[in-house]
Amino acid sequence: MVGSAQPANTYFCKQYFKKIMMYPEYLVAPMREELTKVGFEELKDAAAVTSAVEGEGTVFVVVNSVCGCAAANARPAARIASQNAKHPDKLVTVFAGMEKEAVDKARAYMLPYPPSSPAMALFKDGKLVHIIERHQIEGRPAQMIADNLINAFEQYC
């Protein structure tokens, strides 16, 4: 290939691969439901993430994942913490490996922290005020993680 010419199908390929999901929906549906059944809203695109995070008030974002530490620690911790008397105005979730555009946008708001799945972040008036990364989730009991989140909720919500 000479110069900056690209094959005619480059655009198609980029658009196609943007939409490919890493896991079959039937596999992740129960994992999504663990959060949605306690009031989390699923965000499926970048615009929804922007709308949720940049609004006034507090927003708790969970980057959900199929990994074992999400099942054993992160989702249970998020459920426990979300039931606290003092909690964020909005509870939202994106799913790593599924809605790439939404996950990428959520992770962009979590900078300078590197991408992490699972991860949990608290925003207040559009600003990141608290984050829990995967390395802070792995090997820790759900209640310990929930206590960390509840402390953040008490401070910022």
Q: Does 21 score more than 80 pLDDT?
A: no
Residue 69 placed within a domain: yes
Q: Which of the following is catalytic: 35, 52, 59, 69?
A: 69
Task: Tell me if 79 sits within 8 A of 34, measured CB to CB.
Answer: yes
- First-to-last CA distance in the chain? 56
Q: Is residue 15, in this structure, part of any structural domain at all? A: no
Catalytic residue among 23, 42, 45, 67: 67
* Domain membership flag for residue 68: yes
> For position 107, which CATH number holds?
3.40.30.10
How distant, in Å, are the alpha carbons of 46, 52, 85 from that of 154? 28, 20, 9
Q: pLDDT tens-digit profile of 31-77?
A: 999 999 999 999 999 999 999 999 899 999 999 998 877 778 999 99
Neighbours of 66 (CB within 10 A): 17
Catalytic: 13? no
The parent domain of residue 32 ranges over 22-156
The answer to whether position 1 is within a domain reads: no
Whether 133 is in a domain gets the answer yes
Residue 129 contacts residue 136 (beta carbons within 8 Å): no
* pLDDT in the model for residue 2: 47
Tens digits of residue pLDDT in 129-144: 999 999 999 999 999 9
3-state DSSP percent of the chain in helix, strand and coil, to 5: 45, 15, 35
What token pair was written down for 147?
Answer: 């206590």
What mean pLDDT comes out for the span 12-26?
A: 62
**Cα-Cα-Cα-Cα dihedral sign, residues 151, 152, 153, 155:** positive
Residue 4: pLDDT over 90: no
> What pTM does this model have?
0.86
The pLDDT of residue 115 is above 80: yes
Count of structural domains within the chain: 1
Asked whether residue 14 is assigned to any structural domain, the reply reads no
Helix (H, G, I), strand (E, B) or coil at 38: coil
Indicate whether 16 belongs to any domain.
no
